[in-house]
Amino acid sequence: MILVTGGAGFIGANFVLDWAATTDEPVVNLDALTYAGNLESLASLQGNPRHTFVKGDITDRALLDRLLAEHRPRAIVHFAAESHVDRSIHGPGDFIRTNVNGTFTLLEAARAHWLSLTGDDKANFRFHHVSTDEVYGSLSATAPAFTETHPYEPNSPYSASKAASDHLVRAWFHTYGLPVVTTNCSNNYGPYHFPEKLIPLMIVNALAGKPLPVYGDGQQVRDWLYVKDHCSAIREVLARGALGETYNVGGWNEKPNLEIVHTVCALLDELRPDPAGSYKRLITFVTDRPGHDRRYAIDARKLERELGWTPAETFETGIRKTVQWYLDHADWVANVQSGNYRDWVSKQYGA
């Protein structure tokens, strides 16, 4: 079996669902169920004996030791993280606690577990660390895309905390021999995405007739990766990635934020037209956030060259599936939009 941390969050939940659909191997799913963790995303696994959910924090060493001793996983896939740049600007302490201290605690628990194994169990154990392209900093409009050897230049409390966790994972491999692999992904989108990030926020606000807040001039460029493609890449790296190596995972879809918003509006105009007119009328430019990186771009050729992985979805197919999913799952959206969520959106975009 494998242990997944953060498996009730956006990418983690998609990975757990994907794992259950493509393998017979059991999963122990550890999640603290903070604001972005949502058990409703895992409702289809209720009663499934191959999925064990445990509410808990990766900073709780006693809990980690107990889970590892009880279940003896052959691998740990580490998603658990505070992940929203805007929230890291307002409250960086949570990001240091979870992303840095939590990863350290998990690494130490994993190392003790690994050292307790023998033979093939020890040789085959893996610690897969899931990270972000934001650790590399920002690119100019004409600079080459990030490769795995690009220097780390994080610019936000979030990306700095993830860079720190990446360095810890690397150090535990080189110092202690812990068998690790790391993936650094670009912007994910798809089902079960908490509506604070760009694409789900635009969909949810548009359907509610609310303003569609776009930072600055909207020309910040990101590479967009459909979450199910990300899950397939993680499976490949976990199975066949070289120990101690980093693999960049991207969708080959560089697009400015404003184009993303226009695409979402056009799809909603087609799939759920508003009698009041095109959803583009709701686009509202707001003050840019501090230190907003201008461009990210992922060069994923190493992953294709060494493991044969390429994304299955184009942006056009993936974004259509995403918009349709939100239209079909209004109850899920309504249930995650708590009072705390509404207060935060008002604080972040109200001006």
Q: Radius of gyration over alpha carbons of the chain, in Å?
A: 20
Lowest mean pLDDT among 163-167, 320-324, 328-332: 328-332
> 3-class DSSP state for residue 229?
helix
Strands 254-256 and 221-226, how do they pair? antiparallel
Residue 194 lies in a domain: no
Are 111 and 174 contacting, i.e. CB atoms less than 8 angstroms apart? no
pLDDT at 35: 77
Q: Which residues contact 302 (CB under 8 A, 6 or more apart)?
A: 147, 148, 247, 248
Catalytic residues, which ones? 133-134, 158
pLDDT at 350: 54
**Cα dist. 324→38, 203, 225, 267, 277 in Å?**
20, 10, 17, 9, 20
Per-residue model confidence as pLDDT tens digits over 163-183: 999 999 999 999 999 999 999
Residue 45 lies in a domain: yes
pLDDT at 140: 95
pLDDT at 306: 98
d(CA 91, CA 72): 35
Per-residue model confidence as pLDDT tens digits over 54-111: 999 999 999 999 999 999 999 999 999 997 787 888 899 999 999 999 999 999 999 9
pLDDT at 289: 83
Range of the domain at 150: 2-188+226-250+292-312
Per-residue model confidence as pLDDT tens digits over 211-226: 999 999 999 999 999 9
What does the pLDDT average to over 245-272? 98
Which of 87, 68, 88 is closest to 76 using CA atoms? 68
Residue 6 lies in a domain: yes
d(CA 40, CA 221): 32
Q: How confident is the model at residue 328 (pLDDT cuts 50, 70, 90)?
A: very high
Residue 259 neighbours by CB distance under 10 Å: 14
What does the pLDDT average to over 122-139? 97
CA atoms within 13 A on the CB side of 162: 29
How many domains are contained in the chain?
1
Checking if the pLDDT of 279 tops 60, the result is: yes
What does the pLDDT average to over 191-211? 94
Residue 341 lies in a domain: no
Residue 37 lies in a domain: yes
Checking if the pLDDT of 343 tops 60, the result is: no
Which helix (H) or strand (E) segment is 318 a member of?
Answer: helix 315-328
Residue 209 lies in a domain: no
Per-residue model confidence as pLDDT tens digits over 26-42: 999 999 988 778 899 99
Are 51 and 45 contacting, i.e. CB atoms less than 8 angstroms apart? yes
pLDDT at 346: 57
Domain holding 298: CATH number? Answer: 3.40.50.720
pLDDT at 87: 83
Residue 84 lies in a domain: yes
Residue 283 lies in a domain: no
Checking if the pLDDT of 338 tops 80, the result is: no
Are 106 and 157 contacting, i.e. CB atoms less than 8 angstroms apart? no
